[in-house]
A and B are shown apart, each in its own frame.
Chain A
């Protein structure tokens, strides 16, 4: 059974249809890259999978390990192992990173019927996870994403992912706005999680990330549909040729 199965997914915001029939199968152990012009629906797909209330699924199905995903609340999807690294992570002033991570970790544990970790044990775990993003403990006392630089926010998403160890990680342009070193850190974070029972969907505009995280499949999303799928070579081809040959529209006109 595939880990994630998306079949003919249509989604709207208000009256506007944004996803116009997406089908996608992701098996455990795979990394899929989703590329495509601005405004083609990549973030929408990511948010629909995470359960954002602004989008209405009008038809199609999504299953995680064979079970209906669309019926679940966002938090239930998180408990089931879905993780979305946001394109624009949200700031939460007043809540420290350490507290937030422990709460998230324990809420997921509770939902799975596991015992919660006390602050001391959690701190040990956190110390290990901080190594993934090469951060010192100071960052843990700062408020979640509050006053973080763009790159720091992305790195913080990766830290959350490392702590939560999701089954399905969806990274929405986590590489955008990162310097080369930070991009490596993000890539290392993803590669560490790359296990036979886990899958990753990477939304990206750049081939560079895919040099570090080599995808099994590359899909091109345009105007709410997957217009082409291929292996890792497809990304190189897109880098060289742009999207026009697939969409029939010069890219500048799409956004």
Chain B
């Protein structure tokens, strides 16, 4: 069903034919298990629809306007030249590069090096076609359609993304890059990735989201990450879509005993971005580190919802999200930490700090700790403020003032979380990216 022209609609009807798309997805073919998942997702989305401001989890993040957006109408991605990707590449050229254009794996732009036996990095669509049993066993088991309406939408319509599978003990040295590019051609860019990191295996995955062409676009991605016993995964997520983009993402992490998950998310682009990061600490002695940075200007809105489920005892979670906002930009942070009665000896710390550079920037931050165990250490802190006057004065007495001083102090504020990116090459690139963005913000 590929239509190149937009059919006539009544003024009340949404421009984006979500219902049509979802129905199409639900009808999409075999295998049977996938058809069932798609149907379930479609039904869920049809039942709940786009969230409204009455929905507690979407109170500050108006997504209803999405239905009235003039989004692309074709079903196939537009071609993208390799040069167009260059500005978005991070890290070593020798590492695996998986390019996903408008939600579909693009082999001609990707670079998949020879991998050790037991490691697979490939298109999710190809993995489904090939009938890899792990795909069926895991896909949709974590980011279930009831997590968010957008998870349901993704489940109904996704076509492709990354499939990564590391058997026990495999360590991939170089970071794997997944570059999602949106061209604005299709109505919903819905990539879906599944990362299975086996027992004792380790990997770094960098997901970047970018747009080319500068038109309005809507990305609605889902990534499921499953860490086996003693597995390690560092997961970077860089959102730098165009100024007219809507960006919605869900990362759902499931952790086995002794595993270690470390995430860094950077939100720079889009006019509205929302990322839900949920980690289930489903066994003992799990470590979960979540770092985040968002920079907002103009009328941008960045929403980060995180949820850490301490389901078992002796797990640690550590979370630091920071934001710098100017103009009329708006940030939303909601950090849930849920400690089950059995999860004794939980050590959880959450921090959200915001720096406002203008009178009109705004932050809604809400820690949400639900603690049902008694022998735990859980703390949280949220701040929204201006630049530290003491620091500013100290710099002045050393001859550093004006924009230079401002730049230094804002940079210092962001550097704390950037420092948590382990790979030096990627860290440096991200630092440059943040510096450039801050310069634009300071003006």
Contacts and interface: CB of A to CB of B under 8 A. Distances in A.
B400 A95 contact: no
Interface string A45-77: 000001111000000000000000000011101
Contact of A92 (B396, B412, B419): B412
A124 B438 CA distance: 30
B416 A95 contact: no
B295 to A, nearest CB: 15
Interface stretch (A78-86, A182-190, A197-205): A78-86
A94 B416 contact: yes
A75 B396 contact: yes
Given A74-B393, A75-B402, A94-B415, 5 more contacts: A75-B396, A86-B394, A92-B409, A95-B411, A107-B399
Contact of B391 (A75, A90, A103, A107): A90
24 contacts: A50-B397, A51-B397, A74-B397, A74-B401, A75-B396, A77-B397, A79-B399, A86-B394, A86-B397, A90-B391, A92-B391, A92-B394, A92-B395, A92-B412, A94-B413, A94-B419, A95-B415, A100-B398, A103-B400, A103-B408, A107-B398, A107-B399, A107-B401, A164-B398
Interface residues of B, number: 22
A104 interface: yes
Contacts of B397: 50-51, 74-75, 77-78, 83-84, 86
B322 to A, nearest CB: 10
Given A75-B401, A93-B416, A94-B413, A51 B408 contact: no
Task: From B398, B402, B413, name the one whose CB has the most chain A CB atoms within 10 angstroms.
Answer: B398
B390 interface: yes
A78 B412 contact: no
A125 interface: no
A224 to B, nearest CB: 22
Contacts of A89: 394
Contacts of A77: 397
A160 interface: yes
A103 B396 contact: no
B408 A95 contact: yes
B404 interface: yes
Contacts of A78: 396-399
B412 A94 contact: yes
A108 B399 contact: yes
Contact of B393 (A53, A94, A111, A164): A53
Interface in A126-175: 143, 160, 164
A95 B404 CA distance: 13
Task: From A53, A74, A78, A89, name the one whose CB has the most chain B CB atoms within 10 angstroms.
Answer: A74
A198 to B, nearest CB: 17
B400 A104 contact: yes
Nearest to A107: B399
A74 B391 contact: no
